[in-house]
Each structure stands twice: as structure tokens, then as C-alpha cells.
Amino acid sequence: MFFKEDPRTAAWIPAALLRWFRTAARPMAWRETRDPYRIWVSEIMLQQTRVETVAPYYERFISKFPDVGFLARAPLDDVLKAWEGLGYYSRARNLHRAAGIVVARHGAKVPRTVEALEALPGIGRSTAGAIAAIAFGADVPILDANARRVVARLFAVEGDLRSYATENLLWERSASLVRKGKGRDTALAVMDLGAVLCLPHSPRCGECPLGSRCSSRLRGLQDSIPPKRARIMIPHHDVVAAVFRRKDGALFLVRRPSDGLLGGLWAFPSGRRDPGETLEDALRRSVREKLRVRAVIQREVGTVRHAYSHYRITLHGFLCESPGGALPVGEETGWLPGHGEGTFALPRADRKLVEIIHREEER
Ligand code: SF4
């Protein structure tokens, strides 16, 4: 293989990568700390999310939950509220659960090894590697989305990058980039190279410090590694939402089941429209099934379109009344105050619907 055949290149690539990183490192708030807790939070937030999006969330989260003890003691609702809008809410739920474990089993100290980190909820091998490398300087590899692409291109690893055989090879190649005592900088350098030069589309090979030894570039494969995925049709669903409004303007919400999509968030009572069903019929059925009450529809209050990672929805909000006012009460239901603030974390589509309702009230 390329790497084994040329030991000079094996030494040259990590050295050139670190040289480049010394002048090109991107400034980020979480890079200015060695606090393992803060680095852990940042790595979880950065999963599937861009740096620019994460930055304000990170600042707010850390000021609200400055250490692992604060986070462990906080109610899950507060954590979800701080995460509202960032998406992939299982990350917040797992982070909260993992904080409890760190306090209970590790004396409130973030574990140092990849193995112990990986045992925590929400931390896979690459995130564990990133935390161990960045927070503790461990000489371990990472393989997040950026690293996977960079490593595959550098060593011209072809084929499905998620297959078992390729995965092992990529980990091996990623490990080969880590020089002794340079685990932290290597992890950050690979991340940065993938974010600013070795881009998913049209990599900027002409500016790349590794261009002269990059196997893909030398063989003209940089645009075909990783292989393009076949376009998949993203399904669309019509979802109906019941808006029950009290006289003081408060809006009735239900908590979503903790184990599903948007788990633990607060949303309008809602349901998908079945094929052939009218929106109104779907709404009455959903409310009957979920709340065991009858919904009398007043009018449609707004429509919101939103794309999740695997499907798109059009959310149709209908102002409803429940005859006799018999809406269920309990821990899984609540009233969002008329001004829209409070401790409830809402999915983005429901939050947009709240904004539409408020705008309508102001007219
Ligand atoms: S030369 Fe091009 S393909 Fe190779 S690592 Fe650099 S940017 Fe990526």
C-alpha cells in the first residue's frame, strides 16, 4: 500500500499537516480551554453541526451549566431548552445522562481514556478520540466526517467508506497521522483541513499543504473519493397540529415521548395525515387518539414547512376548542405562556407556529 511503500511520505505528511496547522488553525472559544467538560460539550454540539451554528449555543450552554455537576443536577427540560434550535436532541438527552454518570461514577471528572469515554451515552469512538486528544493530549486518532474524507483522500481509500473493511483501514490510516505527543494538534489539524481545504465538493487541492503527496490528487481521484451517494428521495408528510388557546393566550402543549425523534420536547398535540384523509379529519382523529378528548375546529391558524434530516413536513395548525374544556393535566402536558417564553423547549416547526399565532394576535 502507498503508505507502507514510502516511509518518507509516512513521516512527511504528519509534519506538513502540523506545520500548516500552526498558522491556519481556526479560532474557536472551546479551543481556548483545556477544561475537558467544555471540550466534551463542544464535541457533542459539533456532531453534524457547523462551527458557526454551534458558537452561540456553546457560549449560552456553558454559562448556564458551567461544569459537569451543574449539568447533572439540572432538570432535563432546562437542558433541552438550552439546546432548542440546535437539533438532534438525543445529543442533549445523552449529554445530560452522561453528566449524571460522570458525577456518580467518576467523581465529577471527565474520564481520560477513549474506552471510558466511549462507555458514556452519546459518545462514539471518534468523539471519544477527539475528547481524549484535545482535552488530555492523548495520541489517538479521530474519524469524524471531516477526518474520514481527508484520510480517505490522502491515502486514496476507495469504495464505501462505511463498510467494515474500509472503516478499519481508515482508522489505521488516521492513526498513522498522529505523531508522538501531538495527538491534540493532529486531531484539530485534520478537522480544520477537512473544513477549509479538503471540502466535500471541489476540494482546494491547489492550496493544500499535503497536495504534493496526496494519493488522490496525484491520481486525479479527489473528486470521486468519497464516492457520491445516490440521491435519495426525502419523504414528505402533512402533519396537523391542534392549537388550544386559553383566555390569557397560553397555548396547550404535550411532551413528546423521550425515546423518539425530538424526544422530550414540548409540542402542539399533532399527528400525521393518513392517505385519503382530510386535514380536519386527521386532526380530530389525532386529538382523540392522543388526548382522549374531542376537538372542535375553529379555523386554520398557519402552515409551517420544515425539513428534518430524513423527511420534510408541512405542519398545519388549527385553532381548536375542547367542549367542556376537558384537556388532560399532568406532567406530560403544559401551557406555554401567552408571551411565548418560559422553560418549554419546542421543536423548530412548533416554535414557528407559535410565532405565526403571536403575529396574528398583534395585528
Ligand atoms: S490535496 Fe486535495 S484531496 Fe488531497 S488532502 Fe489536500 S485538499 Fe484533500
CA–CA gap between residue 316 and residue 100 (Å, rounded): 38
Determine the pLDDT at residue 1: 42
What does the domain layout of the chain look like in residue ranges? 2-219, 236-362
Give me the helix-helix angle, 36-45 and 51-64, nearest 10°. Answer: 140
Residue 43 grid cell: 464535541
Contacts of 198 (CB under 8 A, 6+ apart): 146, 149, 150, 153, 204, 208
Q: What angle do CA 93, 95, 98 make, to 5 degrees?
A: 110
CATH node for 2-219: 1.10.340.30
Q: Which of 5, 43, 167, 300 is catalytic?
A: 43
CA–CA distance from 212 to each of 42, 189, 195, 343 (Å)? 33, 18, 19, 54
CA–CA gap between residue 304 and residue 350 (Å, rounded): 8
For residue 153, report the distance from its CA to the centre of ligand 1, in Å: 6
CA–CA gap between residue 194 and residue 191 (Å, rounded): 5
CA–CA gap between residue 183 and residue 130 (Å, rounded): 9
Quickly name the fold that domain 236-362 has. Answer: Nucleoside Triphosphate Pyrophosphohydrolase (3.90.79)
Contacts of 115 (CB under 8 A, 6+ apart): 128
CA–CA gap between residue 127 and residue 162 (Å, rounded): 17
Ligand 1 nearest-atom number relative to CA 209: 6
Check: CB of residue 311 under 8 Å from CB of residue 235: yes
End-to-end CA distance of the chain: 69
Determine the pLDDT at residue 231: 82
* Ranges of the chain whose pLDDT falls below 70: 1-7, 325, 340
Phi, psi of 259 (to 5 degrees): -95, 0
On the question of a common fold for 2-219 and 236-362, the answer reads: no
* Residue type, position 115, single letter: E
* pLDDT tens-digit map of 171-204: 999 999 999 999 999 999 999 999 999 999 999 9
Bridge pairing between strands 312-321 and 236-244: parallel
Determine the pLDDT at residue 3: 44
Residue 281 grid cell: 379529519
Which residues, judged by CB distance below 6 Å to any ligand atom, belong to the binding site of ligand 1? Answer: 150, 153-154, 197-198, 203-205, 208, 210-211, 214, 216-217, 222
pTM, 2 dp: 0.90
Task: Answer yes or no: 300 catalytic.
Answer: no
